[in-house]
Amino acid sequence: MKRMFFIAVLGVEDKDKHIGTYNNAICPSCGGLTRYEVQKVYRQLHIFFIPTIKWNTRYYVRTPCCGSLFELDPVVGKEFEGNPDITIREEDLRRVYDRPHSRYCANCRVEVPEQFSYCPYCGGKL
């Protein structure tokens, strides 16, 4: 008599995927001209190392000017994934993280402590 054994190989993995860049945006945190780095974050089930189901999908925007992080409206994020030429407005973003105790110089893009009125590196007005 033959016996068969079935061993299931299941796995759940958190994935982070860069889906594009939105250029010529004004940062809601520091007010500088910047770009938005748009990320897609989701959880995925693997069966025998084959990705099968995705859930808990969220979209995030990071600004390189000051390092702030925003959650992007999921409808806008899904549209951006299919068409990166859409407009991302400030009202589509919800602040998740920003650096409250420092600023960035618009001239030389250096982090400057909040108490300075002028950049100590290039002399530009903050």
Which ranges of 30-111 does DSSP label H, i.e. alpha helix?
74-82
Inside any domain, residue 2: no
**pLDDT tens-place string over residues 66-90:** 788 999 999 999 999 999 999 999 9
- Is 60 exceeded by the pLDDT of residue 99? no
Inside any domain, residue 114: no
**pLDDT tens-place string over residues 16-66:** 999 999 999 999 988 889 999 999 999 998 888 888 899 999 999 999 887
Question: H-helix or E-strand containing 47?
Answer: strand 33-47
* Higher pLDDT pick, 95 / 66: 95
Q: What is the pTM of this model?
A: 0.71
Q: How far apart are the first and last CA of the chain?
A: 82
Inside any domain, residue 126: no
Mean pLDDT to the nearest integer, 86-98: 90
Asked if 24 contacts 35 with a C-beta cutoff of 8 angstroms, the reply is yes
Q: Which domain holds residue 92?
A: 10-99
Inside any domain, residue 119: no
Q: What span, in angstroms and rounded, lies between the C-alpha atoms of 30 and 113?
A: 13
pLDDT for the residue 8: 61
Inside any domain, residue 71: yes
- Number of separate domains in the chain: 1
